[in-house]
């Protein structure tokens, strides 16, 4: 039985990494999916692969920091698939630096994409979910909203803001049967890791060092996070809202030491 039959979802940042895994899993579970991403080449390739497997998927080029792009992506879901009931607001960028080291440009760019993209996704998705009669919003935050890391000031601020926003929106729209939750991954092997792995003299040893603090002994895969998103998007979580789930191999109960 398909867990997302009759659902229409938008997934931001769906061309690679966690977003791609979400797109592929949701399509396999019966959802019609709008893949929204700035990466046109990979986004269209993923959408074509889903279609080739018999799924329903459309690619839309979308910069989540731009209101017109996000509104257009939501409109495309409704125009092509008839409604919108699920939004996985996943697009994000990685910015490194302390508050002293970070430029104002990098600070605001990180907040515009990572936090502003979630705000805009909610802003345009919620009216369509109200029309549909219910909905589920899943935002990708991070354990960096829960634990202190060195030199990730802008990133942590944006991800922490997502959790606060999730709490607020869950209260504001619960009466419309719109559920809003956040997922907080720990280290996940995605293309965001590529610069560090490329620069490393021993990439395998670097991955092992990332895995070491996790009680389960490994870092995450995009599929690990996609499974959590599937639960939150499905009717199985119908009494779950306003929560921030650490999907982290147990690292938040131990810390990075």
pLDDT tens for 112-167 read 999 999 999 999 999 999 999 999 999 999 999 999 889 999 999 999 999 999 99
For the annotated catalytic residues, the residue numbers are: 155
Average pLDDT over residues 219-247: 98
Lowest mean pLDDT among 21-25, 33-37, 203-207: 203-207
**The listed CATH number (3.90.420.10, 3.20.20.210, 3.40.50.720, 3.30.360.10) that belongs to domain 8-188+221-249:** 3.40.50.720
Question: What confidence score (pLDDT) does residue 5 get?
Answer: 97
**Of 206, 212, 210, 122, the residue nearest 161 (C-alpha):** 122
Helix, strand, or coil (residue 218): coil
How confident is the model over 68-90, as pLDDT tens digits? 999 999 999 999 999 999 999 99
Q: Work out whether strand 86-89 and strand 178-185 pair parallel, antiparallel, or are unpaired.
A: unpaired
In eight-state DSSP terms, residue 63 is -
Where exactly are the structural domains of the chain? Answer: 8-188+221-249
The Cα–Cα gap between 212 and 214 comes to 6
As a whole number, the mean pLDDT across the chain is: 96
What is the rounded CA–CA span in Å between residue 152 and residue 5? 39
Sign of the dihedral defined by the CA atoms of residues 33, 48, 119, 146, in that order = positive
pLDDT of residue 66: 98
Q: What is the pTM of this model?
A: 0.97
- pLDDT computed for residue 70 by the predictor: 98
Residues whose CB is less than 8 angstroms from the CB of residue 83 and which lie 6 or more positions away in sequence, other chains included: 8, 77, 128, 131, 132
Task: Output the pLDDT for position 178.
Answer: 98
Q: For the segment 170-215, what is each residue's pLDDT rounded down to a tens digit? A: 999 999 999 999 999 999 999 888 888 888 899 999 999 999 999 9
Please state, for a pLDDT cut of 90, what percent of the chain lies above it.
Answer: 93
Predicted pLDDT of residue 193: 86
């Amino acid at each position: 039985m398909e867990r997302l039959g009759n659902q229409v979802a938008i997934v931001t940042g769906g061309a690679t990494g966690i977003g791609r895994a979400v797109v592929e899993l949701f399509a396999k579970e019966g959802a019609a999916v709008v893949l929204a991403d700035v990466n046109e080449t990979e986004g269209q390739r993923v959408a074509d692969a889903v279609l080739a497997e018999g799924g329903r998927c459309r690619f839309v080029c979308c910069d989540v920091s731009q209101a017109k792009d996000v509104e257009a992506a939501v409109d495309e879901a409704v125009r092509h698939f008839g409604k919108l009931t699920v939004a996985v607001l996943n697009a994000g960028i990685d910015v490194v630096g302390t508050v002293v080291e970070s430029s104002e440009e990098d600070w605001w760019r990180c907040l515009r994409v990572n936090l502003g993209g979630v705000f805009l996704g909610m802003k345009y998705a919620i009216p369509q979910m109200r029309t549909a009669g219910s909905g589920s919003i899943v935002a990708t935050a991070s354990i960096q909203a829960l634990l202190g890391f060195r030199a990730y000031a802008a990133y942590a601020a944006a991800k922490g803001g997502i959790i606060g926003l999730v709490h607020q929106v869950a209260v504001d729209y619960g009466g419309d049967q719109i559920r809003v939750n956040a997922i907080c991954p720990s280290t996940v092997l995605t293309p965001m890791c590529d610069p560090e792995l490329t620069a490393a003299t021993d990439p395998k040893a670097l991955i092992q060092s990332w895995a070491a603090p996790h009680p389960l002994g490994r870092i995450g895969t995009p599929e690990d996070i996609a499974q959590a998103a599937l639960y939150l998007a499905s009717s199985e979580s119908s009494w779950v809202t306003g929560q921030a789930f650490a999907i982290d191999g147990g690292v938040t109960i131990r810390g990075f030491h």
